[in-house]
Structure 1
Amino acid sequence: MNVLQKWFSHGRDARVLLCVGILIAAVLTAGFASVKHITIIADGKTRHLTTTYVRPDRVLQEAGVHVNEKDEVTMTTKHVEDGTEIRVHRAVLVTIEQGDKARIVRTAKQNVGDVLRQHGYDLTKVMPVVGEETPITQDMNIRLVTPEEIEAQRKAELARMEEQRRYIDTSRGRMRYKSMMVMEASAYLPTDGGGAGITATGVRAGHGIAAVDPDVIPLGTRLYIPGYGVAVAADTGGMIEGDMIDLCMEDYGSAIEFGRRDVKVYVLD
């Protein structure tokens, strides 16, 4: 008779003892095999926990972390296992504005796009002023606009920029202009031509008088020429045609120094 037969020959108590021992060994073995080291991040705190639970709600309960109805729980693994990180996202109040309507919602979503999708907004028809990936914060305001509103804002901004560009800084201050053209400029003296010093419009020639082609720049138009200054188109000349302009100088030296050059001519309001 072997040892096991001798043991069982002692009767029922021996068999019960053996079964209990096997059961205890199995429980201990399973228990040690299922111990998991978990990291929990909630409310700005990081907790490290050793647990045998396999459900995230039981793990959080064991750690003393309460989850409210609108909160969301995410895990770095599909199931609770050794090394899993569990993160609790607390729900916050957010206001969604569209036109003159405001909607207050409580959400645990982490960015603007997810919040809007959660509450049924079609992001092909409306879009947030801030980016969809913008992180959500407590009491955040999310303003929505339509593509049509964005296009109108873009056009208004372009118009504003264009308006801003139509100003030129001069020695007399900032001046608004209608248009700008590049012209070939030359210089003349009040005594040139007939020598009387009287322009085609009847005013006396001098610095600030410009001879132009009236078909290009109407007589009486106020101009600004960088390097010369503010002028009035008040004279004409037989050789001044098309995109040419003749600027009156006070003395011969200034006329020679200026010579002939291309200049920007701003037509002032």
Structure 2
Amino acid sequence: MKHRTFEKAVKAVTCSLLLFSMAAQADLSLAFGFGMNGEDKTVTVYDGSQKKVITTNATNFKQVLNESDVVLNAYDKYWTSGDDVRDGSVVVVERAKPVTIVSGNRAKTVYTTKQTVQGVVNEAGFDWKKMMPIEDGMMKVAQGMQIHVVPYTSRVVNRVESIPVRYNSWYDSTLAPGQMEIVQEGTQGKREVEMEEYISDGKVIRAEAGNVKILSQGTPGIAKTGDMEGTKGYVRNMSATAYHPTDGGGFGITATGTRAGHGTVAVDPRVIPLGSSVYIPGYGEAVAADTGGAIIGDRIDLCMETFEECYNFGRRNVEVFVNY
């Protein structure tokens, strides 16, 4: 009997010692800042255009918002960078905006944190397969805006339309920045566009382009510009003459070894490198493939097919469009 009493006494003392040891460890943890919940963390809070960076030992994000003096209204929301408050966590507050949804003869004001018109319509419970906003669904929501929701049907139609003329531009240092002069008009192309039209009350309220089929490319125009960016080359004012392939040695072979003909021009290689592609209004596209004893500096000699063409051309000042 005494033996059992002694065992009970030993167990009681042992339990007391364990409890004392655990309590002492807890006190030490609090005293020295041990334990995850007690650690200081840096958290950034974004509330619209305001940004606050706080140091906190909060264990949940509601405490973080309270410490940041952020008051949430009934429909406001917030999202966080993670589930737990950690060092470097981010909290973003989204403020609800009042928006009026008009459908038929009914108007209802709702408070929303959605960023787009379509998001508001979806949140309000409208079936997007049957109802749609007249406004662009991707339009950014603004406080106090009205969104008009209507029933609709859709159809697919094919339309043939013109492709705007594209202009190849050459830099002209005599023009001011932003100035452009058309040298040669281009021609429009044609394309067939598959359009999905959305109809409400017998009127097309929106149309979206689908597949596009090019019917004809058109031809690009030529323009001079005072802006160097995006240009194909540069414009140089030169004195031009004309020559026949049989001039000179009479063999019709250029300095680069090609046969001379319309589209061959002679240049000073120090001004326009041999092999350069050029365009001369009234003459057309050409290649700087030849040289000449009298072709020095801003001189250019255009090869013609007949002596009559050479005679009629004579000497004149031309603009030479040199490709880079």
TM-score range, shorter chain: 0.3 to 0.5
Higher helix share: 1
State the structure with bigger RCO (CA 8 A, min sep 6), 1 or 2: 1
Higher strand share: 2
Q: What is the TM-score with the length of structure 2 in the denominator?
A: 0.39
Q: What is the TM-score with the length of structure 1 in the denominator?
A: 0.46
